Amino acid sequence: MGVDLGEIIEKKRIDLEFLQGKTLAVDGYNSLYQFLAIIRGGTGELLTDRAGRVTSHLSGLFYRTVNMIEKGIRVVYVFDGKPPAIKEIEIARRMRIKEEASIRYEEALSRGAMDEARRYAQRTSRLKDEMVGDAKRLLDCIGVPWIQAPSEGEAQAAYMVSKMELWAVASQDYDSLLFGAPKLVRNLAVTGKRKLSGRNVYVEVPPELVELKQVLSNLGLTREQLIDLAILLGTDYNPNGFKGIGPKTALKLVREHGKLDEIIKSLPEIVDIKELDRVRVAFLNPKVTDQYAIEWRKPDVDAVVQFLVRERDFSEDRVANALDRILKSWELGSRVTLEKFFGK
């Protein structure tokens, strides 16, 4: 879900050239779920190989990553570990949504309503362990680093950016700011366009840069107060939030009362402040690790072809073309010399 701060957050429009040579921590699970949602057949079915194994996520991961490399953008994928116990309610909510969407998908198929079926299909995505394993194997083959977080991937990504080991977190959610990420890049896509849900219409969606220091300065808040504001709206750790409170009202309340404990005294709702304290701590002190290595390597062409073409039935021509683009960037350099790019 992620917290909805868009209405009050200042965002700076940027282009992909601005990100050239910069290192971005990408939420691996979030990316794979996006690919599973949008890369589907005409009736909403996932792409599969001859053995029936899902390949939608691999297709999205491979070609998106190739595009980023060609643009001179260094990406590091960060994968979620065990979710914190406080997230159980949100996880259960998401499962209910998927189950309901699955039922409606089958109903739409039975009526021959293919557009409707496809819309519901996009909400049914389930990321299985073997899919994540395949994604990590593919990244190894193309020489792109990935990191296994002990818990929340966005928390780990924010931690590495705060240590200045990476330049920014790349995510659609604003949660990275709550975890303390100094910089957040949204809408990271080569096309710069996104399809509107349920409509055959595309809108321009340029990349955006959000800087935590500027956000806090503009709002006149501390990071702790920004977390309190998010708790009022609802986060993955307290998805219901407070009834009738939107971003502007939440900002007004935080400015007036200073902290959540005092805000609650002014509200009619009866809440357990200890539970909200747990939410605050989950953002301020998430479980992260220093046990990782960040290294970009030259792609293993044979390994990529073996995996994608021989095992997963990808088009040999398309894979060869993508590999050629990576190798040209590595060996010759088109707009970026990847020899320098990878620190070799």
- pLDDT, tens digit (0-9, with 9 covering 90-100), for 320-337: 999 999 988 876 543 344
Which two three-digit tokens encode residue 289? 């690790």
Domains contained in the chain, CATH given:
1-219 (3.40.50.1010), 220-286 (1.10.150.20)
Please, what's the largest Cα pairwise distance for the chain?
A: 65
Of residues 7, 10, 2, 21, the one with CA closest to residue 211: 10
Q: Which residues contact 30 (CB under 8 A, 6 or more apart)?
A: 153, 171, 172, 173
Q: Which residue matches tokens 């691996």?
A: 28
Backbone phi, psi, residue 230, to 5°: -65, -40
Query: How far is residue 9's CA from residue 173's CA, in Å, rounded to a whole number?
Result: 12
Note down pLDDT in tens along the chain; length 344 residues: 678 898 999 999 999 999 999 999 999 998 998 899 889 888 788 899 999 999 999 999 999 999 999 998 999 999 999 988 888 777 677 677 777 767 776 776 677 676 766 676 677 777 889 999 999 999 999 999 999 999 999 999 999 999 999 999 999 889 999 999 999 999 987 555 565 555 555 677 889 999 999 999 999 999 999 999 999 999 999 888 888 899 999 999 999 999 898 898 888 777 778 888 999 999 999 999 999 999 999 999 999 999 999 999 999 999 999 999 998 887 654 334 434 444 44
Torsion of CA 320, 187, 178, 241, to 10 degrees: -120
Query: How far is residue 66's CA from residue 23's CA, in Å, rounded to a whole number?
Result: 15
Backbone phi, psi, residue 194, to 5°: -140, 140
Of residues 63, 70, 60, the one with CA closest to residue 19: 70
Torsion of CA 143, 148, 152, 157, to 10 degrees: -40
| pLDDT score recorded for residue 339 | 41
Beta strands in the chain (DSSP E): 12-13, 23-27, 74-79, 146-148, 168-170, 183-186, 193-195, 202-204, 208-211
pTM of the model: 0.87
Side chain identity at residue 4, one-letter code: D
**Cβ distance 21 to 341 under 8 Å?**
yes
- List, for residues 1-16, the tens digit of each pLDDT value: 678 898 999 999 999 9
What DSSP letter does each residue of 67-130 carry, written as one string? HHHHTT-EEEEEE--SPPGGGHHHHHHHHHHHHHHHHHHHHHHHHT-HHHHHHHHTT-----HH
Query: How far is residue 207's CA from residue 12's CA, in Å, rounded to a whole number?
Result: 9
Of residues 226, 176, 335, the one with CA closest to residue 167: 176
